[in-house]
């Protein structure tokens, strides 16, 4: 068996660590009723791969964003990537607007202020990856469980700080990963020095 070491230590002579037999293969169907479907900010999110599955390295979330849906301005200390599976979203990054369409991938650097909104007439579907994990636990803590990936989100409930959810889990005991994700969020408006240019070649 060929073993490749392409991580940060690839230039060193460190050997790959041994396999961890306690970790298992994950195969997830996003339309399964057994998957974790959550209503938050008027959208419906499905946790495909959690931090528990990846030893905290990353999480993967299937997002169904209806017309007008999407979170308000925020930033966080983890990397975030969206692959647009269906529809399109208007992304505001450091105050500049861009349009991301189906088939395109967006990477949002850690700590950069941003938000997105579905301004189209039909729902958008995004595949979101956050690294390291923690955002998955945050969503599960503040969101409300729904039946399926396509279940319409209940009526939107405004919460303090710009993160809007309907769940009762905010005051509950949560893990360190969730607390870390909560501390990472900064929902201050995009003003002053936060505004800047974007690398996208599609602007308004």
Q: How confident is the model at residue 153 (pLDDT cuts 50, 70, 90)?
A: confident
Domain ranges for the chain, please list them.
Answer: 37-155+163-188
Q: How confident is the model at residue 194 (pLDDT cuts 50, 70, 90)?
A: very low
- Lookup: tokens for 11: 């230039």
Q: How confident is the model at residue 13 (pLDDT cuts 50, 70, 90)?
A: low
| Higher-scoring residue by pLDDT: 180, 88 | 88
By CB neighbour count within 10 A (0-12 exposed, 13-18 middle, 19+ buried), where does 108 fall? Answer: buried
pLDDT at 162: 41
Q: How confident is the model at residue 112 (pLDDT cuts 50, 70, 90)?
A: very high
Distant-in-sequence, close-in-space partners of 185: CB < 8 Å, separation ≥ 6: 74, 75, 76, 138, 161, 163
Measure the CA–CA gap between 52 and 73, rounded to whole angstroms: 28
pLDDT at 70: 95
pLDDT at 155: 67
The 8-class DSSP code of residue 111 comes to: T
3 SS3 class: coil
Homologous superfamily, domain 37-155+163-188: Jelly Rolls (2.60.120.10)
What does the pLDDT average to over 30-52?
93
How many residues can be counted in the chain? 204
Average pLDDT of every residue of the chain? 79
Q: What is the pTM of this model?
A: 0.73
Measure the CA–CA gap between 168 and 103, rounded to whole angstroms: 35
CB atoms < 10 A from the CB of 132, how many?
18
**HSE of 78, CA atoms in CB hemisphere, 13 A:** 24
Measure the CA–CA gap between 129 and 82, rounded to whole angstroms: 7
| Higher-scoring residue by pLDDT: 87, 14 | 87
- Of 114, 132, 135, residue with least CA distance to 179: 135
| Higher-scoring residue by pLDDT: 40, 155 | 40
161-193 pLDDT, tens per residue?
344 333 333 223 334 444 444 444 554 443 333
């Amino acid at each position: 068996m060929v073993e490749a070491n392409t991580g940060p230590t690839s230039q060193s002579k460190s050997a790959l660590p041994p396999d961890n037999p306690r970790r298992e293969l994950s195969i997830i169907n996003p339309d399964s009723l057994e998957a974790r479907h959550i209503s938050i900010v008027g959208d419906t999110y499905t946790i495909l791969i959690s931090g528990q599955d990846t030893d905290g390295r990353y999480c993967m979330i299937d997002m169904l964003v209806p017309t007008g849906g999407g979170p308000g301005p925020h930033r966080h200390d983890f990397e975030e990537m969206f692959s647009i599976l269906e529809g399109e979203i208007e992304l505001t990054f450091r105050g500049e607007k861009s349009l991301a369409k189906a088939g395109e991938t967006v990477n949002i650097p850690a700590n950069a202020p941003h938000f997105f909104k579905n301004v189209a007439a039909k729902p958008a579907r995004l595949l979101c990856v956050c690294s390291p994990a923690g955002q998955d636990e945050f969503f599960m803590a503040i969101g409300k469980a729904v039946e399926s990936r396509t279940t319409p989100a209940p009526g939107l409930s405004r919460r303090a700080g710009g993160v809007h959810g309907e769940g009762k889990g905010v005051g509950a005991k949560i893990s360190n990963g969730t607390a870390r994700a909560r501390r990472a969020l900064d929902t201050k408006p995009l003003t002053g020095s936060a505004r800047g240019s974007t690398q996208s070649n599609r602007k308004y």
